[in-house]
Amino acid sequence: MDEITTICPLYNFPQEATIVGRIIVGYAELETKFLRPVALATNTDLDTAIRLMYRPHSESARLDAYDAVVRQAAVTHGLNAVYQLGYEKMLACKRFRNQYAHCQWDNDTSVLSFINFDDAAKSESGPTMMEKRHVPLELLQKQEAFFGNTHHHLAFFNRELWSRIDSTVPNLVTPPPIMHAPRLYSQEHPHSPRNLAKAQRRQQSGRAPETAT
């Protein structure tokens, strides 16, 4: 493809690029899970919840508004731990989304990599230091799986809060398995001598290979 008319680094990694795209656009789907708890906490309806949540124009502002409205309702109905876990999951998902939405992709053809000008711009003077960050396919798959787990957790919390406020509403959503947030990126190339040597030692010992993190 013509380098001038394409985002060439991403075209070198079609599988990875597809997952990155789903992470960026999928965050907005997670935010829709804010609406029912906001309506319940404010004793209003979904139309009002939409106005409350989508007049703010940034991910951070919407998450702050959600927290300000819903946290106390969760505490009141004995769901503080469930709420807090979901809130922390959303913070992690926002970090995943933002690092891909605001990065510059590197031309490394062996592994998908990026740099972040926002971080480099924080220096006050002198040369800007830009760190190359690697995101192997295995790591991206873990991040996307975490998005799915977060979606499931928010759905469970929504229904559980609703059922505790209104006893006629059953919670038919089971809680998801526990999943910890994966790393944002890997600073070390997956094909570095150290990692290749580690993989060779694991192969010689008969152990299963480690996935990239």
pLDDT tens string 4-37: 555 567 888 999 999 999 999 999 999 999 999 9
pLDDT tens string 128-184: 778 889 999 999 999 999 999 999 999 999 999 999 999 999 999 999 999 999 999
| Domain residue limits, the chain | 7-105+137-184
pLDDT score at 209 = 47
pLDDT score at 162 = 98
Helices (H), 102-168: 117-120, 137-165
pLDDT score at 200 = 56
Which is higher by pLDDT, 73 or 199? 73
Q: Evaluate if residue 94 carries a pLDDT over 60.
A: yes
**Cβ pair 36, 158 in contact under 8 A:** yes
